[in-house]
Structure 1
Amino acid sequence: MILMIEKILLAQTLKRLPRMGWLISGIPNPESVADHSFGVAFISLLLLNKIKEEGVKIDENRVLKMAIIHDIGEALITDIPLRAQKYLDKDAAEDKAVKEIFPEFYELYREYQEGKSLEAQLVKFADKIDMVLQAWQYELSGNKNLEDFWRALEELEKLEIARYFKELLEEVRRLKGDI
């Protein structure tokens, strides 16, 4: 059994772990996985407020917990970039890591991975919005060739929850046009 202090220290490795997709794309000093997780949690909070204004019933507690732990497995397996994932079974490795080290979060993690619940879709939406807006900020700083990251917008439109955030998606697309 892993002690709580060990779990805390392991999770804190996310503060030092750079997001590899940015690093491979030539971004100097990219955000950490923990930076990204904070962004996802904050965006999820904003999206929750918006969707509740629409009268949608959603479990806020599950959303925020999911947002915080959605990348917790990377504390063990690291952030495997998209181009490497086609050669590895990242999902199986991350699944195993979460199940072994953080079993108390496993069901919530699986729910996020499967993306079937409204809560999981909201966090997936927040995850991609955070990434796309980070790409925009990197591009504003003069970094180029980040088109792969912008393709996430196409994935977002496929999510059932996207119907509540059409205006946000339009705003994000406009940002891309302004660069």
Structure 2
Amino acid sequence: MLPRDFINLMAIAEKMKCNARHSWTSTHRQESVAEHSWRLSLMAYFVQDEFPEADIQKVILMCIFHDLGEAITGDIPAFLKTSKDESIENLEISRLIKSLPQYYQKKLTNLFQEMNDLVTLESKIYKALDKMEAIMQHNEADIFTWLPLEYELNLSYGSDEVKFSPYMENLKKEINNDSLLKIRNAKQNIEKK
């Protein structure tokens, strides 16, 4: 890749640092798309012992690239995202990939196709972890950042995506326990006032 093309691509990717997500951090600021992708990649690395047959490097690449379109479109919370929003994001990522040298075009086109098809073990791991990371971040944030619909949504979000793996189902169960504890503690604090 030519140095100028590389710099231009990194300028687009930098927007992942700038674009805020719906989630908040434990220090009371909105999380960026890049922060979500980073921790998602870290999660993928640390589940490799649970999935020895999976190509974890590919899972990590999926985690790194999955929200690259949001560098262009910004983040739309899952409960507001429409099929039209998905189409726009997919179009933008397709345009971006087509602007890359042929070597990267082929690799990333195949990677995004695999992520969208959700057939391979690697794509299922990435998708389940993507959902789990979002709920974990909600649990780590102050509950005042939750919308009323999220009290139920956090408990159901990602339930279908974890069904392929007993490990992922157990992870979801533990994360749900954290959500329930957070909700219970918030209700107790309200009752004390």
TM range (shorter): 0.7 to 0.9
Tell me how far apart the structure 1 counterparts of residues 114 and 160 of structure 2 sit (CA, whole Å). Answer: 18
Q: State the identity %.
A: 21
Which of 172, 175, 193 is 1:172 aligned to?
A: 175
1:83-94 aligned within 5 A: 83-86=79-82, 89-94=84-89
Which of 7, 10, 13 is 1:8 aligned to?
A: 10
Any stretches of 5+ residues in structure 2 without a counterpart? 99-104, 183-193
SS in structure 2 at match of 1:22: strand
Tell me how far apart the structure 2 counterparts of residues 82 and 59 of structure 1 sit (CA, whole Å). Answer: 27
Does the 8 Å contact 1:135/1:150 carry over to 2?
no
The alignment's C-alpha RMSD in Å is 2.4
Which of 151, 154, 158 is 2:159 aligned to?
A: 154
Does the 8 Å contact 2:20/2:31 carry over to 1?
yes
Any stretches of 5+ residues in structure 1 without a counterpart? none
User: Which amino acid in the other structure matches residue 59 of structure 1?
Assistant: D
Given the superposition, is the C-alpha separation of residues 31 and 122 from structure 1 closer, same or farther in structure 2, using an over 3 Å criterion?
same
Which of 91, 96, 99 is 1:96 aligned to?
A: 91
Counterpart of 1:70 in structure 2 is 66
Q: TM-score, normalised by structure 2?
A: 0.76
Counterpart of 2:116 in structure 1 is 113
Counterpart of 1:134 in structure 2 is 137
Given the superposition, is the C-alpha separation of residues 62 and 134 from structure 1 closer, same or farther in structure 2, using an over 3 Å criterion?
same
Does the 8 Å contact 1:125/1:156 carry over to 2?
yes
For the pair shown, the structure with the greater C-alpha radius of gyration is 2
User: Which amino acid in the other structure matches residue 127 of structure 2?
Assistant: K
Does the 8 Å contact 2:155/2:176 carry over to 1?
no
> Shift of the alpha carbon at 1:83?
4.3
Counterpart of 2:47 in structure 1 is 47
- Return the structure number with greater strand share: 2
Counterpart of 2:125 in structure 1 is 122
Q: How many residues align?
A: 167
CA offset digits 1:81-115 (Å, max 9, x no partner) = 334423x5122222221221124322212211221
CA offset digits 1:18-51 (Å, max 9, x no partner) = 00x337xxx9631000000011101111122222
Does the 8 Å contact 1:48/1:60 carry over to 2?
yes
SS in structure 1 at match of 2:68: coil
User: Which amino acid in the other structure matches residue 13 of structure 2?
Assistant: A
- Return the structure number with greater helix share: 1
